[in-house]
Amino acid sequence: MESEEHIVTAFDDELEKLTTLISQMSGLAEAQFAAVMKAVESRNDELAEQVRDGDKEIDDLEDQIEALAVKTIALRQPMANDLRSIVASMKTAADIERIGDYAKNIAKRTIVLNQVPRLPVTRSVMRMGQSVAEMMKDVFDAYLQGDAEKAIEVWEADEDVDNHYTSLFRELLTYMMEDPRHISPCTHLLFIAKNIERMGDLCTNVAETLYYREKGVRLSQTRPKGNSANQMLVEPDA
Partner 1 sequence: MAAVEQVVQSEPGTGRVKMRGDNVRVYYGEKQALFDVNLDIYEREVTALIGPSGCGKSTFLRCLNRMNDVVEICRVEGSITMDGQDIYAKDVDPVHLRAQVGMVFQKPNPFPKSIYDNVAYGPRIHGLVSSKSQLDDLVEESLRKASIWEEVKDRLDAPGTGLSGGQQQRLCIARAIAVKPEVILMDEPCSALDPIATAKIEDLIHELRENYTIVIVTHSMQQAARVSQKTAFFHLGNLVEVGDTEKIFTNPEDERTQGYITGRFG
CA distances from 61 to 76, 118, 133 (A): 22, 35, 21
Q: Buried b vs exposed e over 49-77: b needs ≥16 C-beta within 10 Å? A: eebbebbeebeebbebbbebbeebeeebe
Please report whether residue 5 would count as binding partner 1 according to CB under 8 A.
Answer: yes
Could you tell me which of 135, 169, 172 has the C-alpha nearest to residue 154?
135
Distance between CA 97 and CA 55 in Å, rounded?
Answer: 9
Nearer to partner 1, 76 or 170 (CB): 76
Q: Calculate the CA 214 to chain-centre distance.
A: 21
Stretch of 5-13, 57-65, 111-119, 197-205 contacting partner 1, by CB under 8 A: 5-13
Please report whether residue 73 would count as binding partner 1 according to CB under 8 A.
Answer: no
Distance between CA 121 and CA 198 in Å, rounded?
Answer: 19
Please, what is the minimum distance in Å from the beta carbon of residue 3 to partner 1?
8
Please, what is the minimum distance in Å from the beta carbon of residue 139 to partner 1?
22
Distance between CA 99 and CA 203 in Å, rounded?
Answer: 9
Please, what is the minimum distance in Å from the beta carbon of residue 217 to partner 1?
7
**Whole-angstrom Cα Rg for the chain:** 20
Which residues, 114 to 153, sit near partner 1 by CB under 8 A? none
Please report whether residue 11 would count as binding partner 1 according to CB under 8 A.
Answer: yes
Which residues, 77 to 96, sit near partner 1 by CB under 8 A? 77-84
Please, what is the minimum distance in Å from the beta carbon of residue 78 to partner 1?
7
Please, what is the minimum distance in Å from the beta carbon of residue 214 to partner 1?
11
Please report whether residue 8 would count as binding partner 1 according to CB under 8 A.
Answer: yes
- Cα Dmax for the chain: 75
Stretch of 35-43, 76-84, 102-110, 185-193 contacting partner 1, by CB under 8 A: 76-84
Contact with partner 1 (CB under 8 A) among 156, 181, 216, 234: 216
List all residues 6 or more positions away from 193 whose beta carbon is below 8 Å from its beta carbon: 125, 128, 165, 168, 169, 172
At 31, which helix (H) or strand (E)? helix 9-42
Please, what is the minimum distance in Å from the beta carbon of residue 68 to partner 1?
18
| String marking each residue 171-210 x if it binds partner 1 according to CB under 8 A | ----------------------------------------
Stretch of 36-44, 117-125, 198-206, 215-223 contacting partner 1, by CB under 8 A: 215-223
Query: Residue numbers of the site for partner 1 (CB under 8 A)?
Result: 2, 4-8, 11, 76-84, 215-217
